[in-house]
Amino acid sequence: MIIFIFSIFIGRFFYIMKIKSPVYKSLALDQWTKDFEIPSKRGKILDRNGIEIAVSMNAYRVDLDMSTLRETLVNKKMTMEQFAAKLSPILNITTDKISNLLNSISPNGIPIKFAILARGIDKTQVDKIKELKINGLIISSDAKRYYPNNNFLASVLGYVNLEGKGVSGVELSYNKELSGTPGRTTYETDNKNSSQLPYGDSDYKDPVNGKDIVLTIDANIQSIAEKAAQKALTDSKAKSVTITVMNPKTGEILAMVSKPDFDPNNPTKNLKEKAPKSIDDIVKNNAVQNAFEPGSIFKVITSYAAIKEIVATEKSTFYCNGSLNVDGSPIHCWNLDGHGTESFGDIIKNSCNVGFAKLGQQLGKKRLGYYVSLLGFGKRTGIDLPGESAGIVKNPDTLNNFDLSSLAFGQGLSATSVQYLAALNSIANGGTWIRPHIMKQISHVNENNRTIVDKTFNDFGKKTILDPIAIATLKPYLEKVVSDPSGVGHNAFIEGYHIAGKTGTAQKANPKGGGYENNKYFSSFAGMAPVDNPKITLLVSVDEPDPSRYYASEVSAPVAKDLFSQIFNYMIMKGQLSLVKSTK
């Protein structure tokens, strides 16, 4: 019996000392050591002129040492729920949410040992937490993301979550560069697990702060676009307004606005008021993520194809009586009375659907489909912003005559704003496709307070795709759309600015399939100026304007006029542009 009992003890000792040794050693280390991550400071986001538009401010965080906290609450005869009720008004977090955290269980069924209670809180909150005199609350330095101009450039910037990680926009695209590398500290504690032992082992690793992202955005042009978009949203009683301004020679985005927008300092603040399906609807960047039927602004592409393929010349004529029957289905012109006999320039200036339907038939599905693909429709541009949509383009081989005729004036396909502007830039700059981009450079400040440039944007994807001679033929036609008093874009005209552009009023496709929605339109204006050497291109899109006044010539063209006027005044003041206005 003695030998049997002794054997049991020996077996038990062997099990504890040999088999379970790593487990108990780990538990012991957890009891007498503390291991904390030291957060790095997130890099700034600046505009091209160095204006700060996203920064990180000094703040505090509160972590929970659950073992010490549980022991303290027992000694104070306080429940987790009572403790949560004391924390709730200090942290502005519901009691239930704090209680759930305090009572959390790890996946293996063991109560958690460590948790993050709050991040980015201020000193006033910290002082109130200290007044509770509860051991187990570990207060340390932290950083809080702050957007000085609130909703300025919101859909482009995106926002960060409570853990300081980018969730959308630039904050997500360049999260790795902005985040830096956190540091770490490890030290031994006393038997109460509250103070560091003076001669115990310790280890410390400095955090490496994140790098700064300099955007292509010009804050002054962005401000002009923000105000124009908000005014258009209000005046046209629209669902949304999207404005994008670019440099056609570099692919740089100078301004990008989606209204309505949000405050990245508190993205969920108006969640119930705006009644979206989710937070994703609030932070969505329409210029990149929303594909729409371009309508008549697509006629620019068809016009180029017709010129290049010598399908249309200045001597070509088209007759419009208001509609065209294609394989038993009618195609209507916006002018139901018809335009009569028109030249090639006239069908562009008048935005005649009948004329372009005939032009599409003359081009044929192979040739028109080739230029649609060549200019990047149906493919992502590769812009350095998340969630880009590729749009939808049908396989040219599957097009019937009606589909082909509709495609010629921008129906039956969808595109994003950046996708369309990348194509328009190819015309504006003389034939080169360039990738749209938002990052100009990545930099950091060294120990000597000098700015070191780590990287400049170099993924342009440049390719010469268009014929400069055909472009030179097309541009005067597009200028007449705006300069001619009878042109559909004349409301964008400014004497001496030589604006070329195209309006587009597209009925919205039914999202459930099968035709189009009644009284719902996309009204757009796409343009470039000065036409002989464009400095900027822009696209204004108004989603679902008031159905009593929805034509792009009335809704979007006036917005474009204000944009060109204010942006050019700013560029002239900065010495970036010199315009000599012509006299009548």
Residue 420 lies in a domain: yes
Strand partners, 241: 259, 542
What pLDDT is stored for residue 583 in this prediction? 37
Within 10 angstroms of residue 60's Cβ, the number of other Cβ atoms is 19
Residue 52 in any domain: the answer is: no
Q: What is the pLDDT of residues 244-300, one digit of tens each?
A: 999 999 999 999 999 999 999 988 775 555 445 577 788 999 999 999 999 999 999
Task: Among 94, 113, 146, give the residue marking a domain's end.
Answer: 146
388-394, long-range: CB within 8 Å, 24+ apart, which pairs?
388/288, 388/289, 388/416, 388/418, 389/288, 389/289, 389/290, 389/291, 389/416, 390/291, 391/291, 391/415, 391/416, 391/419, 392/291
d(CA 144, CA 443): 21
Same domain, 108 and 230: no
Tally of domains in the chain? 2
Asked if residue 426 and residue 321 are part of one domain, the reply reads: yes
Inside any domain, residue 22? no
Q: Assess whether 417 and 297 both reside in one domain.
A: yes
Domain termination residue (choose one: 146, 174, 192)? 146
Report, as an integer, the average pLDDT of 308-332.
Answer: 93
Task: Count the residues in the chain.
Answer: 584
Q: Which parts of 290-334 fold into alpha helices (H)?
A: 299-308
pLDDT band with cut points at 50, 70 and 90 for residue 197: low
Q: Which of 26-40, 114-128, 476-490 has the lowest mean pLDDT?
A: 26-40
* pTM score: 0.86
Tokens of 408: 């010629």
Domain shared by 246 and 101, yes or no = no
Beta strands in 233-361 (DSSP E): 240-246, 253-259, 317-320, 323-326, 329-332, 340-343
Contact, 39 vs 56, CB < 8 A? no
From 91, 118, 146, the end of a domain falls on 146
Q: Find, among 396, 440, 433, the residue nearest to 418 by Cα.
A: 433
Residue 84 in domain: yes
Q: Is 450 exposed, middle or buried (0-12, 13-18, 19+ CB in 10 A)?
A: exposed
- pLDDT-derived band of residue 205, with 50, 70 and 90 as boundaries? confident
Same domain, 387 and 258: yes
The pLDDT confidence band at residue 192, using thresholds 50, 70 and 90, is low
Q: What is the mean pLDDT of residues 351-379?
A: 96
Q: What's the gap between Cα 491 and its chain centre?
A: 30
Residues 557 and 468 in one domain: yes
Full residue range of the structural domain in which residue 521 is found: 219-573
> What is the reported pLDDT for 32?
63
Q: What is the mean pLDDT of residues 546-565?
A: 95
Kindly compute the dihedral angle of the four CA atoms of residues 467, 463, 413, 493, in this order, to the nearest 10 degrees.
-60
Q: Report percent pLDDT > 90 for the chain.
A: 65
Token readout for 569 is: 């005044």
Residue 492 has pLDDT above 60, yes or no: yes
**Are 136 and 235 part of one and the same domain?**
no
Residue % of the chain over a pLDDT of 70: 91
Q: In the prediction, which pLDDT does 584 show?
A: 35
Is residue 341, in this structure, part of any structural domain at all?
yes
Q: What is the CATH number of the domain that holds 307?
A: 3.40.710.10
Highest mean pLDDT: which of 113-117, 444-448, 532-536? 532-536
Mean pLDDT of 372-381: 96
Instruction: Answer whether residue 30 shows pLDDT above 70.
Output: no
Residue 178 lies in a domain: no
Q: Of 512 and 145, which is predicted with more confidence? A: 145
Q: What is the pLDDT of residue 322?
A: 92
In a domain, 43, yes or no: no
Query: What is the pLDDT confidence band of residue 195, given thresholds at 50, 70 and 90?
Result: low
For residue 74, what is the domain's CATH number?
A: 3.90.1310.10
Q: Is residue 473 part of a domain?
A: yes
